[in-house]
Amino acid sequence: MRDERYDILFEPVKIGPVTARNRFYQVPHCNGMGSRYPQSLAAMRGVKAEGGWGVVCTEEAEIHHTSDLSPYLEGRIWDESDIPSLARMVEAVHTHGSLAGIELVHGGHNGSNRYSREVTMTASDMTLEGYEPSQARAMDKQDIANVRRWHVQAALRSKAAGFDIIYVYAGHDLTIFQHFLSRRHNHRTDEYGGSLENRLRFFREVLEDTREAVGDTCAVAVRFAVDELLDEDGINFQGEGRDAVAMLAELPDLWDVNISAWPNDSQTARFAEEGYQEQYIKFVKSLTSKPVVGVGRYTSPDAMVRVIKEGVMDMIGAARPSIADPFLPKKIEEGRIEDIRECIGCNICVSADYDMVPLRCTQNPTMGEEWRREWHPEVIPSSESSEQVLIVGGGPAGLEAARALGQRGVSVALAEKTEEWGGRCLKESSLPGMSSYKRVSDWRIGQLQTMPNVGLYLASEMTADDIIEYGVQHVVLATGSSWRKDGVGRSSHKPLPGIDDGLLLTPEQVIAGERPQTNMPVIVYDDDPYIMGGLVADLLAGAGYEVMLVTPFPMVSPWTENTMEQHRIQKRLLTLGVKIHPNRQAVQRLGGALEVACTYSGAAEMLACGALIPVTSRLPEKTVANELEERRGDWKAAGISSVTRIGDCNAPGLVATAVYAGHRYAREFGESINPDVPPFKREMIQLD
C-alpha cells in the first residue's frame, strides 16, 4: 500500500461548504468535446474521478449566448436545456466520491459570437482576438448589470446540475473579469475603470453575487491569474496581482491561481520545468486562509508533498498530468509509483482543443476514447487467443502494441534492431529541451519488464527471412520512418534539383552527432510544419554554427501554434542568432549556394550554403514489409496469418499517433472489425 510519506496527499480538504476527499484537484481544462460531445465528456471526467482525483472540473462553460466561443467546443450553460448534459458529467464524477466543479465564463472580447451573432462586449471599445475583422463594444452600466444577472442564473443552473464547486473565472486573458481588471484592456473612466479597486469592482460584485446565490451549498472558487509575464503592462505577482489577491483574500472559498495567458500557464516541457509557476503563486497562501490550488505539471509525489509542506499550495492542481494518467492519485495511494504514466509536456492535448476535436494525448492513447470506444485507461479485456504476435521495432508504436497486448495476456515477442528501446523517442530526446520524450519509452519498457508473456529482444534486426523462419501467426511491423534526402515535402512534391551538390545531412545524422565540416552558413530547409526544423537549427546554433532556417511557411514550425509553442520557438532561435528566412521556397542547389524564391512573388535570391539539412518529410521504413510481401506465398507454410504495419512505417506522424496505432492494434487483436462502419459510437444530435 501507499508510502506514509504520501499520506498528506490524501488528507481531506474543506472548501467552503463542501469537502474534497483528498488533495488531488483536476483543474478546469479544455478538451475539444464541450457541449458538442457531452457523453464523451462525462465518461472522460468520470474516469478521472475513478482514478482518484478528489475534485474534477469542467472546462470553461459559457454562461450566456453573448459569450459564444464558437468555433471552439467549450462547455455551455446558456439555459435550462444545458443542464442534463452537465448533470451527466456530475453524476459520473459523484459516482466515484469526487466533487464536481464548473468554470463559468463570460469571454469578453475573447468570444467572437460567431454562432450567436451577438455583438461582442467587453471592458472598452477594442478589437477582437486573432484575425477577426470585427470589434467589441464597450459595456455600459446596463450591460454590467446584465452580466451579473446572467452569471447568477448560470450559477443557479450549475447548482441544479449538481455541481459542488462553482467558479468565477478571471484567468488566461480569456474572461471579461480579467479584461476589466487589466489596465491594458480597461480604459474606462467610470467607477469600473481607473484605480485597481475600480477595475476589480466587477469581479468582486460577481463573486459576491455568486456567493449569495449558491454559496450555502456550493463552494465558490476563483480562478485567477496572478501574473501575465508582461512586466508593468500586465497583472504582476509583485504588483497588482498581489494587491488584488489581498483585496479579495477571504471572499472566495478557494483560490485556483496561475499565470496568464494560456500559453504561459500550459508551457511545454521544452520551455518550462515541473513546478515552473511556484515562484509566481507562492505568495497567495500568505494572504488568505482559504485553500489554494496551483498547477505546474507535477507528476512526482515527492514534489507534490514538498509544495504542500512548503506552503506553496494546499491542493495539487493538474490538467495535463491527469490527462496523461487519470489514475495518478490511485497509483500513489496503492504504492504503485512506477506505474504512473508521466505527462511529457508536449501539448498534443492542447492541439485537439485548437483543432476542435476530442482530446488526445501522447502518453495516454485512451484519452478521449472512454465513451466512444469504451477504452478504459487501466483495463483491457483479456484476449481469448492463444496465437502469438511478433512485433518488429521498439519505438513508441511497437512498445505500446507490445505493452497493451501483454496486458491482454497475449504471447508477444518484441524485436528491436538497435541496442536501446525507444526508436524516435530515444533519438529525439537528445535534442534541446526534449528529454521528457524518453518517458514514452521508459514507462512502456518498465511495464513490459513485468510481463512474463512478453519476450524482449534488443540488437535483433529482423529480415523477412528471419520472420518467416520464426514462424508466428501475427507479425506487426513497427519499423518507423526516416527523413527524406531528396527535398520532397509539403511545398514541393518533386525532388530539389542539385540537392546533393555539397554537404547534405539528415536530421537523424545531426541527432546522431554528425557535424558538417564547413565555415559557411548551414541551411536548415524546413518544409515540415512541426518541431524538427526548429530543433535542428537550435542544436546547431548552440554548437556554434552560423545557421539559417529557410522555410516556405510564414513562420518557424507553424503547427506549434496548436501546442502554444510557436512564439517561444521563434524567439529562442532568434536569440540564438539563427537567421530566419520565411516565405522562401527552395528552387535548386548550386554548390555553395541555395537558390530560393519568394512564395508570393517568385523573386529569386541566392543564399550561401556550406551544408544543407532538408527537413521536409519522412519515408516509411518498408524494407521488411516489402520483402515479406514478395514472399507472401511462403506465409501459410510458416504459419503467418497476418502482417500489419503500424505507426510511422505505415504513415509517419506524431508520436501520439504512433502510440495510438500500437494501442489500437492491441485492442482490436482477435476482434472482428467491420471496415464498412466507424469503429466507434457517435454522439448524434436529436432532431425535433
Q: Which of 78, 320, 288, 295 is nearest to 171 (CA)?
A: 295
The residue range among 16-24, 293-301, 394-402, 539-547 that interacts with ligand ADP, by the rule CB under 6 A, is: 394-402
The residue range among 333-341, 382-390, 475-483, 588-596 that interacts with ligand ADP, by the rule CB under 6 A, is: 475-483
Regarding 32 and contact with ligand SF4 (CB under 6 A), the answer is no
* 8 Å CB contact between 38 and 114: no
Answer yes or no: 349 catalytic.
Answer: no
* Among ligand ADP, ligand SF4, none, residue 343 binds (CB under 5-8 Å by kind): ligand SF4
Q: Any bridge partners for residue 586, and if so which?
A: 596
Cα distance from N-terminal residue to C-terminal residue, the chain: 53
Instruction: Give kind and range of the element (H or E) at residue 413.
Output: strand 411-415
Regarding 365 and contact with ligand ADP (CB under 6 A), the answer is no
Number of residues that bind ligand SF4 (CB under 6 A): 13
Regarding 668 and contact with ligand ADP (CB under 6 A), the answer is no
Choose between 76 and 424: whose C-beta lies nearer to ligand ADP: 424
Regarding 343 and contact with ligand SF4 (CB under 6 A), the answer is yes
Choose between 433 and 480: whose C-beta lies nearer to ligand ADP: 480
Choose between 396 and 552: whose C-beta lies nearer to ligand ADP: 396
Backbone angles phi, psi at 348, to 5 degrees: -65, -30
Cell for 669? 487483436
Interface pick for ligand SF4 out of 345, 406, 507, 652 (rule CB under 6 A): 345
Regarding 479 and contact with ligand ADP (CB under 6 A), the answer is yes
CB of 675 to ligand ADP, least distance (A): 22
Regarding 560 and contact with ligand SF4 (CB under 6 A), the answer is no
Burial (0-12, 13-18, 19+ Cβ within 10 Å), 350: buried
Choose between 294 and 345: whose C-beta lies nearer to ligand SF4: 345
Regarding 293 and contact with ligand ADP (CB under 6 A), the answer is no
Answer yes or no: 143 catalytic.
Answer: no
Burial (0-12, 13-18, 19+ Cβ within 10 Å), 376: middle
Interface pick for ligand ADP out of 99, 397, 434, 556 (rule CB under 6 A): 397
Regarding 87 and contact with ligand SF4 (CB under 6 A), the answer is no
Q: Any bridge partners for residue 315, and if so which?
A: 293
Answer yes or no: 169 catalytic.
Answer: yes
Which of 30, 218, 343, 346 is catalytic? The answer is 30
The residue range among 12-20, 366-374, 392-400, 541-549 that interacts with ligand ADP, by the rule CB under 6 A, is: 392-400
Answer yes or no: 106 catalytic.
Answer: no
Strands 135-138 and 126-127: antiparallel
Within 350-409, the residues that bind ligand SF4 by CB under 6 A are: 361-363
Tell me how far apart the alpha carbons of residues 160 and 400 are, in angstroms, rounded to a whole number: 42
CB of 662 to ligand SF4, least distance (A): 15
Q: Any bridge partners for residue 76, and if so which?
A: 62
The residue range among 8-16, 169-177, 313-321, 417-425 that interacts with ligand ADP, by the rule CB under 6 A, is: 417-425
Q: Which of 331, 463, 361 is nearest to 9 (CA)?
A: 331
Residue with cell 470506444: 373
Choose between 175 and 447: whose C-beta lies nearer to ligand ADP: 447
* Among ligand SF4, ligand ADP, none, residue 363 binds (CB under 5-8 Å by kind): ligand SF4
Half-sphere exposure of 185 (CA within 13 A, CB side): 27
Regarding 349 and contact with ligand SF4 (CB under 6 A), the answer is yes
CB of 274 to ligand ADP, least distance (A): 25
Q: Which of 275, 199, 264, 188 is nearest to 226 (CA)?
A: 264
SS3 letters for 42-109?
HHHHHHHHHCCCCEEEEEEEECCCCCCCCCCCCEECCCHHHHHHHHHHHHHHHCCCCEEEEEEECCHH
Cell for 84? 442534463
Regarding 66 and contact with ligand SF4 (CB under 6 A), the answer is no
* 8 Å CB contact between 206 and 179: no
Which stretches of the chain bind ligand ADP, using CB under 6 A? Answer: 392-398, 415-418, 423-424, 461-462, 478-481, 621, 624, 647-649, 658
Residues with a catalytic annotation lie at 30, 169, 172, 265
